[in-house]
């Protein structure tokens, strides 16, 4: 099950991955996992939307989102484009490519949030699904190890 933010305008279906979705209001990001909404989030960005988030009021809102995501175990911005698309100005905006790239790099450093350049929409859906899947696997493994260690301690306490 993948949670999709109710404000997401063009949500992924994850049909290729046989995953189900539920529309909810997420505190941060566009995609998350049940029970982990405050620990994992993926923010999806189409190229024009991303560049729009680098200027004016959109920038302030985007920075607030990145600041919230910084506290998560996993938070990433998955972009439906390549870094070369930004570098070559393949977007609808007057913003210079160099300025856009500098803002993106500064955000990655300032908020410790990776930007995943997925190439296109299918690539972004793939990256979103597998980032969430890998996170869930890691949490499951940590839980197993913690339970095993707890059981071993309990066994050692017995006479």
Half-sphere exposure of 57 (CA within 13 A, CB side): 0
Tokens of 30: 């566009």
Average pLDDT over residues 39-52: 98
What pLDDT score was predicted for residue 101?
98
What pLDDT score was predicted for residue 159?
58
pLDDT > 90 fraction of the chain, expressed in percent and rounded: 89
Domain boundaries, given as residue ranges, for the chain = 2-157
Prediction pTM value: 0.91
Average pLDDT over residues 15-32: 97
For the chain, the distance separating the N- and C-terminal CA atoms, rounded to the nearest angstrom, is 44
Tokens of 38: 């405050």
Pairing relationship of beta strands 31-32 and 2-5 according to DSSP bridges = antiparallel
Tokens of 137: 């696997």
> Each residue of 48-106: pLDDT tens digit?
999 999 999 999 999 999 999 999 999 999 999 999 999 999 999 999 999 999 999 99
Residue 129 — pLDDT band, cuts 50, 70, 90?
very high
What pLDDT score was predicted for residue 136?
96
Average pLDDT over residues 34-39: 97
Closest CA to 125 of 28, 25, 26, 15: 15
CATH numeric code, 2-157: 3.40.50.10130
* Whole-angstrom distance, CA of residue 119 vs CA of residue 40: 22
What pLDDT score was predicted for residue 146?
77
Judged against a pLDDT cut of 90, whether residue 157 lies above it is answered with no
Closest CA to 131 of 83, 71, 73: 73
Q: Which of 90-94, 98-102, 116-120, 142-146 has the lowest mean pLDDT?
A: 142-146
Q: What is the mean pLDDT of the chain?
A: 95
């Amino acid at each position: 099950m993948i949670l999709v933010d109710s404000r997401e305008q063009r949500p992924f279906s994850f049909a290729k991955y046989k995953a189900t979705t539920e529309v909810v209001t997420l505190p941060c990001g566009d995609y998350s996992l049940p029970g982990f909404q405050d620990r994992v989030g993926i923010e999806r960005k189409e190229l024009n939307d991303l560049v729009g988030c680098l200027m004016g009021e959109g920038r302030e809102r985007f920075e607030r989102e990145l600041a919230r995501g910084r506290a998560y175990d996993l938070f990433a911005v998955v972009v439906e484009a390549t870094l070369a698309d930004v570098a070559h100005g393949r977007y609808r905006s007057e913003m210079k490519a160099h300025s856009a790239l500098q803002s993106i790099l500064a955000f990655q450093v300032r908020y410790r949030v990776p930007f995943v350049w997925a190439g296109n929409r299918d690539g972004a859906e793939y990256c979103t699904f597998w980032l969430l899947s890998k996170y869930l696997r890691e949490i499951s493994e940590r839980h197993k190890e913690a339970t095993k260690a707890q059981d071993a301690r309990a066994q050692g306490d017995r006479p």
